Amino acid sequence: MPAESTREPVSPGSDWELAEPSADVDRSRLDDLLDRSMEDVDALGLTLAIVVVQGGRVVAERYGAETGADTTLISWSMAKSITHALIGLLAGDGALDVVGRAPVDAWAYDDRAEITIQHLLEMTSGLQFVEDYVDAGVSDVIEMLFGAGVDDHAAFAAAFPLAVPPGTVWNYSSGTSNILARIAGDAVGGGREGMEHYLHERLFGPLGMTSATPKFDGAGTFVGSSYVYATARDFARFGSLYLRDGEWDGRRILPAGWVAHAATPMRAPLPDEERHGYGAHWWSWRRDPRTLAALGYEGQRTIVGLDRDLVVVRLGKSSADDHVPALDDVLDEIVRCFPASD
């Protein structure tokens, strides 16, 4: 790495500036943790890429044997946080009312009409949906992505009945994210081409996320629950947008207050077993509202330390039960290598 220069935060240009961490970071400790994240496959699973950004500069990164800075990897549920940005853009345009009823025609004449976009963002819609990644016999998400719902994820998810009144129970659901993606697509217009253009023109393009590739279902709806491919450095660009309160190089991208919206704890009780808190399509890392996190299946992570001027991206393949708890412990130690501001 080049020698440390100014510590004044910057916005990444077309290429990332490389630098050493600030002087108050124990570089030896950081390197040990990064090495462990790559090498301890038995305990942590396979890490394909990890990038650490402080002050808008890449201060550390590691890649697996067959990956590099230009390798695009799947987001899985980190895409949900991109969906949050998409809804924010449309709300800022005046095209969507976040606190208003969700514009889903199938819900217009029954008790689902009380579901708001905010309920969907908070995962408190009340809709029946089983988010299980292992048991195909009971999993609605597997059926949505690969089974009966494969051609139209949003319609599949929207067809479920209410299990509880909206706003009362938190139930993590990829179905709600794809309903939001359909709502966004309808607001943008132009089908798949319209949404691709909007995402690149309004979000990926301004951030320089040249590798970002959103995927679409058979109905032309952005799979906002699961499918954005990008390099680790480009996911770090997305995290940096939220680190900078929705601004990029002096230009406001997201509406004022939209990052605070992501970080505000949702209003329903969160199960005790959840290690992280939940806001609006963003998690709070270890239930700390000062640290946002986009989390995905198999240990995909974009961690945004709002009080540390820090973004950490980790991409790989880890088992939810066997690896992810220990992986999160190591990532938390990496985050804590960077002192928080008072």
List pLDDT tens digits, range 139-167.
Answer: 999 999 999 999 999 999 999 999 999 99
* For range 237-260, the mean pLDDT: 97
* For range 53-69, the mean pLDDT: 96
Burial classification of residue 286, based on how many CB atoms lie within 10 Å of its CB (0-12 exposed, 13-18 middle, 19 or more buried): middle
User: What pLDDT is attached to residue 204?
Assistant: 98
Q: Band the pLDDT of 4: cuts 50, 70, 90.
A: very low
| pLDDT exceeds 70 at position 136 | no
Integer Cα distance of 43 and 318 in angstroms? 9
Residues in contact with 8: Cβ distance below 8 Å, sequence separation at least 6, in sequence order = 55
Parse the chain into domains and list their residue ranges. 73-284
- Check: CB of residue 102 under 8 Å from CB of residue 119: yes
Residues in contact with 64: Cβ distance below 8 Å, sequence separation at least 6, in sequence order = 38, 46, 47, 48, 49, 316
User: What pLDDT is attached to residue 132?
Assistant: 86
* For range 285-298, the mean pLDDT: 97
Strands 310-317 and 46-54: antiparallel
Predicted TM-score (pTM) of this structure: 0.95
For residue 9, give the amino acid letter: P
**Residue with more model confidence, 132 or 75:** 75
Instruction: Please state which CATH class domain 73-284 belongs to.
Output: alpha beta
User: What pLDDT is attached to residue 134?
Assistant: 74
User: What pLDDT is attached to residue 203?
Assistant: 98
| pLDDT exceeds 70 at position 64 | yes
- Check: CB of residue 302 under 8 Å from CB of residue 311: yes
Q: Band the pLDDT of 7: cuts 50, 70, 90.
A: low
Strands 213-214 and 228-230: antiparallel
User: What pLDDT is attached to residue 35?
Assistant: 97
45 backbone φψ class: left, alpha, beta (φ>0; ψ -120 to 50): left
